[in-house]
Structure 1
Amino acid sequence: MTKPPVSDERRPANDGPKAAARNRTALVAAAREIYAEHGLDAPLSAIARRAGVGQGVLYRHFPDRDAVAGAVLEENVRQIERAAAAPDATSESVLGVLTWHLTESAAFISLLCVDGTGRGSRNLAYATALSERVERALDGHLPDSVGVPLRETSDLMLAVAMVSGAVTGPTREQRERRALAAWRLLGVTVGPVHPFNE
């Protein structure tokens, strides 16, 4: 048996854990984009392709569809928690970060509207826990002056759910415009719409 010829071209070094972390980050970012474009039922193969990895890599990080959605949701919630805990946090700045996540993530909208029916019921306890974390983060960040009476955080969460219903459109810009228009109709001022950057 003859050995195949060895190429003079050097193989790239195996980055090990660095590559794994990079791949996971790319998969979560790709999942957020794919979910925003096609909803939560988008094929996992589309997420792997968008991330530039094989499906085997996706399954090494996330054993099933719910695990992928959970990773996206966890990142959404973590950013809102960090925005709310920032020393210079205002209701406007926190709502700006929350609105960015509404316009970027169909999975996040589903989380905030979880009611125990339909698709959300498969992991209802997990979704409820994440939704409660968002509610705790918003606690103490009620807008000061609004057109409708928001007396407590649960009122604000209802307003968030109402705004999320307006977040439709094929582009992020259209979804953002609609979200901001919905906040205006509720008399709520929202700060710049962007992800939270520490």
Structure 2
Amino acid sequence: MSAHKLVIKDALWQLFGRIISALFGFVITKIISSYLGPLRYGDYGTIFRFFAWWTALVDFGIYVLAVKRLGTIKAESEENQDQKSDFPANSPLGVEYGKFVGTRIFLIGVIYTLAIIVAYLIPAYTSNPFIIRGLPFAMCYSASNMYAGIQQLPLQIFRKMKRLTRSLIIARLSQLVVLLPVVYYFFSEVDFTTNQAPT
């Protein structure tokens, strides 16, 4: 298969995955919003909006630069026929990917640590028990998404987005499978209309 066809096929898989993920996301959001109610869903949104700004700082355009750099190295290696697609750790491609992994993990640790410290210094957050309890979970969720970018990069470079699409759909389905019993069985009687956090 030609390189152009591989790129198109890879892009279609990525598009398919995003559409399915968006549909699952819509269903999950509807369940969460109806479960929490307007007041607590507002807290939920506040928490994730807060971390959205910090997530942008963690990325800082590094992913795009890494895709470009690794793509160039891969193309040069294939032209010289000195590297296969097994991604050896001591190859120029492996070394450059290692730098990306190290930089991304360092930024995740530093930025999200700073984010959680700042969050606990904001009176509007510390006075709300729901936000206080939700902040660490939201931080872990946001950080895990950034960490997923580390695993996504090689798949994008080697045009294996089909694998990422499958894992994305499985992840969304898993979220739904966990969410349904939590909302409708284990914690169905929790009252979110007061400022008293459930114990």
The alignment's TM-score, normalised by the length of structure 1, stands at: 0.28
Q: Please state which structure has a larger fraction of its residues in helix.
A: 2
The alignment's TM-score, normalised by the length of structure 2, stands at: 0.28
Bigger relative contact order, structure 1 or 2, given CA contacts below 8 A and separation 6+?
Answer: 2
